Amino acid sequence: MKELVEVIAKSLVDHPDEVVVTETRDGKNVKVQLHVAPSDMGKVIGRQGRIARAIRSVVKAASTRDNTRVDVDID
């Protein structure tokens, strides 16, 4: 899941070298934390959180085949 979030985020931002994605696993739960440059925060979140919601939906769909639950946090 880390790679998927990283690819999506790097394609959205102006500073792809500042994108940092960390992943922690706890059994079937996975927490993915996405850190971007402060100037790129709006591009990742989008208007009314639409892009962030879309990223979470794509990750959730990809995680169903692994039978895991994924939470995506954007910082």
When divided into structural domains, the chain yields a total of 1
Read off the amino acid at residue 61: A
Read off the amino acid at residue 22: T
Which two structure tokens, joined as six digits, stand for 58?
């794509």
- Report pLDDT for 3: 95
CATH of the domain at 69: 3.30.300.20
Domain that holds residue 39: 2-74
Residue 66 pLDDT exceeds 90 = no
Averaged pLDDT of the chain: 95
pTM of the full predicted structure? 0.91
Rounded to whole angstroms, the Cα distance separating 20 from 67 reads 25
Average pLDDT over residues 48-72: 94
| pLDDT band, residue 65 (cuts 50/70/90) | confident
Residue pLDDT, tens place only, 24-53: 999 999 999 999 999 999 999 999 999 999
